[in-house]
């Protein structure tokens, strides 16, 4: 019988499933055992079924102007309890440090006075908004939701690739991936002990309600979306539905007397917390881009007056700037007095004296990233770039050293992924999501594993044609096997079902002549 793993040749990277060809990692044994006997045609059948289910449910994304089903690969990505413990602590630590940095940068600026971070990093940042200065959000929380991108390097260690503390997206796909996988491979799930992911909406709602301004007894939370044409609209709608709150667009809100109201059939009702999925620039035409028609005029003033909480806070962009990224390990030491749990990828700052030349000299061996790029845009991978691209990149960096960082290329770990009718190694990353309620940073078990569907490709964003995998965090230790049959005592007495006629009278044929 054809084995879908027959032709699986390890790439030059850490493989999630195999130690070496034929030797599978412990956590993956049940998955391999379940997948191996499946015929390629059967796998294809299930993949097609899943794609149809995604299309039917509207779980799609826009690729090249076309609505495509969310690409979920059939092979899950597995993290054991120890790995997850490390990731979870590392992500929470990172969020706490970034939170402290934001509070500092929009407050006393101690880190700048103490020389931990240079002033220019703040003053040059396109995301530094003066209007956010001096605004003290309820509970001191500016990062309600964070998505921290991790990769696993050649040695198998997790490293932080970037922080997202403005409007990180993708969590809906974590929820939908799990839903799809339990339906496509129920038997596989029945044998595993995978930590559930369905608590996210409750955690988020609790954190958002807790972030409400003082005095709101029963705070009203809304999700603010740019509208149905936004690529992440599905996610906005899902979160609103799961939380049971309204999904509003800018023109559904109206600001008066420094308060925010929502236009409803019962008149205007007050809004206390806005989980906004709009960038700062579009949020309020009075303060930011005057041409924005998807924002809500006056919402920023209401936030400054302390009458509405914006989640995440305005101005968070100074903390997920790719240049600031290079300082985060120092910030963890400075604010928290702890050593970073998850290391960065080794990085260079072209805008720092001395480093520019070093970067330009070895540009063909580095990854060059624009500091405010999103979705993998503008990234140049030195070793793979042609001479012309390198020349243009060198010029761009020289012209604007503040606009770029350089990193050692990391061969992202690979995971078996269905390519055509066989398994092939594809590079993956991981975006865990954290919810911060001010006391506690909770990390959703797992996160979004994105996979680069093209062979050898290192960029995994779905806007670049990437796919995804369901991410399983295994529960610590298997559940206790039960030996004896549990007693039925305690099960309630419920009345028997009432039954009706069978509707099939027996004498019908006697009285009717068939013609």
Partner 1 sequence: MSDVILSRIAEALTWTGRYVERADATGRILDAYLHRMLEDPWRDEDAACRSLYAILGVDAGAERVDMQQVLDQLAFDSRSTCSIEGALGAARLNARSAREAVSSEMWECLNSTWHALADQRRAARRTGPYAYLELVRARAALFFGLADSTMSRDDSWRFVVLGRSLERVDMTVRLLSVRVLDAAHAPDWTTLLSASGADEAYARVHSGFGDNARVAEFLLLDRDFPRSALHALTTAEECLSALGRPRQDPARRPIGRLRTRLEYLDLTALQDQLPALLGDLQQACMASAEAVAERFFPYQGPVIWAQEGA
Interacting residues toward partner 1 by CB under 8 A: 42, 46, 49, 178, 182-187, 189-190, 192-196, 198, 202, 205, 209, 221, 241-245, 474-475, 479, 482, 485-486, 488, 490-492, 494-507
Q: Which residues have a Cβ under 8 Å from the Cβ of 429 and sit 6 or more positions away?
A: 149, 150, 151, 161, 412, 449, 450, 460
Cβ distance to partner 1 smaller for residue 49 or 264? 49
- Rounded CA-CA distance 441/444 in Å is 10
The CA radius of gyration of the chain, in Å to the nearest whole number, is 26
Cβ distance to partner 1 smaller for residue 283 or 443? 443
Q: Which residues have a Cβ under 8 Å from the Cβ of 215 and sit 6 or more positions away?
A: none
* Contact between residue 450 and residue 375 where contact means Cβ atoms under 8 Å apart: no
In terms of DSSP bridges, do strands 467-473 and 72-79 run parallel, antiparallel, or are they unpaired? Answer: parallel
State the nearest-atom distance from the C-beta of 479 to partner 1, in Å: 6
- Contacts of 23-30 with CB under 8 Å at 24 or more apart are 26/80, 27/78, 27/79, 27/80, 27/474, 28/78, 30/188, 30/191, 30/192
- Rounded CA-CA distance 435/422 in Å is 38
Cβ distance to partner 1 smaller for residue 267 or 500? 500
Count Cβ atoms below 10 Å from residue 432 Cβ, excluding itself. 28
- Rounded CA-CA distance 388/383 in Å is 13
State the nearest-atom distance from the C-beta of 192 to partner 1, in Å: 7
Taken in order 178, 183, 184, 187, the sign of the CA dihedral is positive
Q: Which residues have a Cβ under 8 Å from the Cβ of 125 and sit 6 or more positions away?
A: 317, 318, 321, 324
- Rounded CA-CA distance 58/48 in Å is 15
Report the run of H or E that residue 79 belongs to, with start and end. Answer: strand 72-79
Cβ distance to partner 1 smaller for residue 124 or 182? 182
State the nearest-atom distance from the C-beta of 204 to partner 1, in Å: 11
Q: ω into residue 506 within 30 of 0, thus cis?
A: no
**Eight-state DSSP code of residue 336:** I
Cβ distance to partner 1 smaller for residue 191 or 395? 191
* Contact between residue 458 and residue 109 where contact means Cβ atoms under 8 Å apart: no
Cβ distance to partner 1 smaller for residue 31 or 363? 31
State the nearest-atom distance from the C-beta of 245 to partner 1, in Å: 6
DSSP E strands, 165-319: 221-224, 246-248, 253-256, 259-264, 267-270, 273-276, 309-311
Count Cβ atoms below 10 Å from residue 186 Cβ, excluding itself. 9
State the nearest-atom distance from the C-beta of 444 to partner 1, in Å: 14
Cβ distance to partner 1 smaller for residue 186 or 353? 186
State the nearest-atom distance from the C-beta of 71 to partner 1, in Å: 19
State the nearest-atom distance from the C-beta of 342 to partner 1, in Å: 25
Distances (CA, A) of 199 to 204, 353, 442, 500: 9, 47, 11, 41
Cβ distance to partner 1 smaller for residue 158 or 185? 185
State the nearest-atom distance from the C-beta of 487 to partner 1, in Å: 10
- Rounded CA-CA distance 138/17 in Å is 45
- Rounded CA-CA distance 269/217 in Å is 14
State the nearest-atom distance from the C-beta of 227 to partner 1, in Å: 21
Cβ distance to partner 1 smaller for residue 152 or 209? 209
Cβ distance to partner 1 smaller for residue 102 or 208? 208
State the nearest-atom distance from the C-beta of 145 to partner 1, in Å: 18
State the nearest-atom distance from the C-beta of 302 to partner 1, in Å: 21
Cβ distance to partner 1 smaller for residue 116 or 195? 195
State the nearest-atom distance from the C-beta of 507 to partner 1, in Å: 6
Cβ distance to partner 1 smaller for residue 98 or 197? 197
């Amino acid at each position: 019988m054809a084995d879908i793993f027959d032709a699986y040749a390890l790439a030059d990277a850490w493989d999630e499933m195999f130690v070496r060809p034929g030797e599978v990692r412990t956590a993956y044994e049940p998955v391999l055992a379940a997948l191996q006997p499946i015929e390629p045609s059967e796998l294809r059948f299930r993949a097609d079924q899943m794609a149809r289910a995604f299309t039917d449910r509207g779980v799609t994304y826009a690729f090249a102007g076309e609505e495509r089903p969310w690409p979920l690969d059939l092979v899950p990505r597995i993290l054991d309890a120890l790995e997850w413990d490390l990731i979870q602590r590392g992500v929470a630590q990172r969020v706490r440090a970034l939170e402290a940095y934001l509070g500092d940068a929009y407050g006393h600026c101690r880190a700048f006075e103490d020389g931990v971070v240079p002033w220019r990093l703040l003053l040059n940042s396109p995301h530094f908004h003066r209007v956010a200065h001096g605004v003290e959000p309820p509970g001191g929380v500016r990062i309600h939701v964070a998505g921290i991108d991790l990769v696993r390097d050649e040695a198998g260690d997790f490293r932080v690739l970037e922080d997202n503390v403005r409007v990180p997206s993708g969590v809906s796909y974590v929820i939908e991936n799990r839903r799809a996988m339990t339906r496509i491979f129920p038997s596989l799930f029945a044998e595993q002990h995978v930590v559930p992911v369905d608590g996210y909406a409750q955690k988020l709602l609790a954190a958002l309600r807790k972030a409400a301004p003082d005095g709101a007894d029963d705070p009203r939370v809304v999700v603010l979306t740019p509208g149905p044409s936004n690529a992440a609209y599905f996610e906005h709608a899902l979160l609103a539905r799961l939380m049971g709150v309204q999904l509003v667009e800018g023109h559904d809100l109206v600001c008066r007397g420094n308060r925010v109201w929502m236009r409803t059939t019962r008149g205007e009702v007050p809004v206390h917390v806005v989980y906004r999925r709009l960038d700062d620039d579009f949020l309020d035409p009075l303060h930011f881009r005057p041409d924005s028609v998807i924002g809500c005029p006056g919402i920023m003033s209401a936030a400054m007056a302390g009458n509405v909480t914006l989640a995440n806070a305005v101005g968070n962009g100074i903390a997920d700037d790719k240049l600031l990224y290079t300082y985060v390990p120092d910030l963890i030491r400075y604010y928290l007095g702890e050593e970073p749990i998850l290391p960065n990828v080794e990085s260079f700052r072209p805008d720092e004296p001395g480093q520019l030349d070093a970067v330009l000299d070895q540009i063909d061996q580095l990854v060059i990233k624009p500091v405010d790029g999103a979705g993998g845009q503008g990234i140049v991978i030195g070793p793979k770039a042609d001479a012309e691209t390198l020349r243009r990149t060198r010029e761009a960096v020289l012209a604007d050293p503040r606009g770029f960082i350089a990193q050692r290329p990391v061969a992202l770990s690979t995971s078996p992924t269905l390519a055509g009718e066989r398994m092939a190694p594809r590079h993956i990353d991981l975006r865990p999501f954290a919810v911060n309620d001010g006391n506690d940073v909770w990390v959703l078990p797992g996160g979004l594993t994105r996979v680069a569907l093209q062979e050898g490709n290192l960029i995994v964003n779905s806007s670049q044609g990437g796919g995804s995998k369901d991410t399983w965090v295994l529960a610590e230790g298997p559940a206790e096997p039960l030996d004896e049959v549990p007693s039925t005592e305690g099960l309630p007495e419920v009345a028997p079902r009432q039954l009706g006629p069978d509707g099939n009278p027996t004498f019908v044929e006697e009285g009717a002549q068939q013609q």
